Amino acid sequence: MIHWIWISLLSGISVLLLTLYINLGGYKEVTIEIKNIDGMHLVYKSHVGPYHKINPTIEAVEKWAHDSKIECLKAFGEYLDKPGTIEDDRLRSHGGCVVPEQPENPLPEEFEYRYLDAQKVIYAIFKGAPSIGPIFVYPKIEQTLEEKKLTAAGPVLELYNTPNAKESTTEYLCLLKHKTLNKQ
């Protein structure tokens, strides 16, 4: 009897894990290339705490953009600290919107603006859930950095595009340090 309980329990867990894997898009391919991107206008708000709790920060900027009649071209997250190196409640990040141009009116006090210059990046696309992107995408970005002997210039910028609830697409931009030649 106990034998059948264990088989049923393991079968149930297997079905649950397979369902999560499929629903989150774990089977979807990560595409990576090195390319030049156009400059971007970023309006964002700082967030301190676990990264999975950044959504209200992003939504606050999206609401401000909507109320200000400014198009939020894409939502974004920029995760400044590496999880596991500091406590989750001290992780720093930025969440906000890519907007068409620098806003004319002053921003709310807690918001910031930054222009990201046009530059060469490692560009990755993942059509699975953004929550599992770090598991599948970040190792491929690290692998590309090593293989191409490149150096990241800072944290990866994640651009979120969810045109419908069925499929989300996240773009990952790994900014690269410029190489300089040593003249002797």
Cα separation of 17 and 9, whole Å? 12
Express each pLDDT in 14-35 by its tens digit.
Answer: 666 555 555 555 556 778 999 9
% of the chain residues with pLDDT over 90: 64
pLDDT value, residue 5: 74
Cα separation of 24 and 131, whole Å? 8
Instruction: Give residue 56's domain range.
Output: 29-175
Residue 7 lies in a domain: no
Residue 151 lies in a domain: yes
Cα separation of 96 and 162, whole Å? 15
Q: Is the pLDDT of residue 183 over 50?
A: no
pLDDT band at 44 (very low <50, low <70, confident <90, very high): very high
Write phi, then psi, for 141 (nearest 5 degrees): -65, -45
Higher local confidence (pLDDT), 131 or 152: 152
pLDDT value, residue 102: 97
pLDDT value, residue 177: 87
pLDDT value, residue 160: 92
Torsion of CA 59, 65, 67, 68, to 10 degrees: 160
pLDDT value, residue 83: 86
User: Model pTM?
Assistant: 0.81
Give me the number of domains the chain comprises. 1
Write phi, then psi, for 17 (nearest 5 degrees): -65, -40
CATH code for position 75: 3.20.80.10
Residue 118 lies in a domain: yes
Residue 3 lies in a domain: no
Residue 119 lies in a domain: yes
Express each pLDDT in 132-167 by its tens digit.
Answer: 778 888 899 999 999 999 999 999 999 998 655 456
pLDDT value, residue 109: 96
Residue 98 lies in a domain: yes
Separate counts of helices (H) and strands (E) for the chain: 4, 8
Residue 94 lies in a domain: yes
Cα separation of 172 and 159, whole Å? 6
Residue 161 lies in a domain: yes
